[in-house]
Amino acid sequence: MRQLTSLDAQFLAFEDGRTHGHVSVLGTYAPMTADGRSLSAEVIIELVTERLPLLPPFRWRLARVPFDVDHPYWEDSDDVDVAAHVHTSTLPAGDDRELAEHVAQIIAQPLDRSRPLWEIHVINGLADGSVGVLMKMHHAAVDGVSGAEILSALLDQTPDGRDVPVAVPTGRRQSDFELFGRGLLNACRHPVRALEVAARALPHLDQVPTLSALPGIKALARSGRRGRRTEASAMSAPRTRFQAPVSGERSVAFGSVSLNDVKAVKEHFGCSVNDVVIAMCSAGLRSWLDANGELPDRPLVSFVPVSVRTKEQAGTFGNRVSVMMAELPTDEADAAVRLKRVKAELSAAKLHHKTLPPSLMQDANDLVPPALFARTAGAALRFGASPLLQPAVNVAISNVPGSPTTLFCAGAEQRTQYPISGVMHGIGLNITVFSYRDALGIGIVADRGQLDDAWPLLGAIQDALPELARLVPTM
């Protein structure tokens, strides 16, 4: 058995029927497999069953500690009913909007905690004849990097597949009595552990997005920095419609832009692909907010997840992430100036992020006794979304590099890939970008109560690339 860290457990604690802790990825595939069969739920079930030895999180089932005196454990199961996790649906028309609406309905449903926390949905009826495959995984088990490792275990670089190791034996499940006893022992040790992490965490608590809006956090961080050279970011976020509690419903939009065009802009301006992506998101948000009469006169603030996973931690799954906060120049009308500001802002944000402990997100959680954590983490998130408080950030933006070559699922060619992430109280908008082959796939997820139709925002972000491309002489 393997115990969840406080950072892993946070994604469980956030769930309250309106926020969900899972993340998803949507792929569209050629309808036929390498052996001439239709890509169906039965084929997916066979594939996952065969590859379970490569997919530890697909075998993990939550084991609660009695009375929740400690963080839960993952129990490695040898009796996973794969068929219970794979679902089939068929769309009447199958265009992108109908597919997005169907995906929005799927991601608005929580995962069943009595089973390993994943689902795969096979979606038929797409207009171009493709088959959609939506995979949901709980963030308590995987972050962005380890989620990509799951994909790499399921997808192949050739239609011929690969050899799979034999099943691995599972460990002995501990009894509730043993878990409770260990939990009590950990509770006794917690004050010492909290003192150890406090020195690292307190000076930087105002850099944790889920905490920084809470009353007293900035003062507490300043007191922790007293006598140190550490400087904190002076950013503050304006209020938008997305800084509010979320409902239980979601809206989704997805599309792509040319990766080659993005790279041409990158080369011309001497910046990174990520700089261009953030500039596109800034331009799209500016245009969309302005069209709706809601553009603040100050820059928006985004939080950007950053992996702190070391090479030695590859294949260990769970969460090894930190967060970088950066201003988005949504107050700038000129595309070239906006990109230059993004480059400077992200460079400064990266330098500042290096001054933070890599374990900050987990250290901040470790200050709270596990027996109280599940209650306080969720309450802090909901309270932080109060309209009476100054928001910490406006939007979550991620840019994840994917495969530059074609991938296959049971020999069926993957045609497109789109990230479908999640939202939380106080941050009702998430924009995630994932590269595949020669395209950047953009996935937008929003709280439906705050944004009923995400497609105009997607279009505004996509339109930002031609605006930048026109500034490149050779394009």
* Interstrand relation of 300-307 and 321-328 (parallel, antiparallel or unpaired): antiparallel
Q: What is the separation of C-alpha 135 from the centre of its chain, rounded to a whole number of angstroms? A: 13
Q: Give start and end residues of each alpha helix (H) in 292-334.
A: none
Q: Tell me the two tokens of residue 103.
A: 């995906």
d(CA 198, CA 84): 43
Give the pairing type, strands 250-258 and 131-138: unpaired
Residues 6 or more apart whose CB falls under 8 angstroms from that of 471 comprise: 265, 268, 335, 336
Structure tokens given for 109: 């449903």
DSSP letters spanning 135-175: EEEETTTB-HHHHHHHHHHHSBSSTT----PPPPPPPPPPP
465 contacts 434 by C-beta, under 8 angstroms: no
**Rounded to whole angstroms, how far apart are CA atoms 358 and 301?**
21
Please, what is the angle between helix 273-291 and helix 455-469, to 10°? 130
- Take residue 400 and report the two structure tokens written for it: 């994840």
Element (H, E) at 388: none
102: annotated active-site residue: no
Distance CA 325, CA 396 (A): 9
| Nearest partner of 55 among 127, 113, 120, 128, judged by Cα | 120
Q: Considering 22, 102, 138, 139, which one is annotated as catalytic?
A: 139
* 451 in Cβ contact with 423 (< 8 Å): no
Q: Residue 25 and residue 459: Cα distance in Å, rounded?
A: 20
Q: Report d(CA 470, CA 475) in Å as an integer.
A: 7
User: How far does Cα 441 stand from its chain's mean position?
Assistant: 14
Separation between Cα atoms, residue 370 and residue 203, nearest integer Å: 22
Q: Which residue has the tokens 């949901």?
A: 136
Task: Tell me if 3 sits within 8 A of 73, measured CB to CB.
Answer: yes
- Residue that has been written with the tokens 């006169």 in this structure: 297
Catalytic residue list: 139
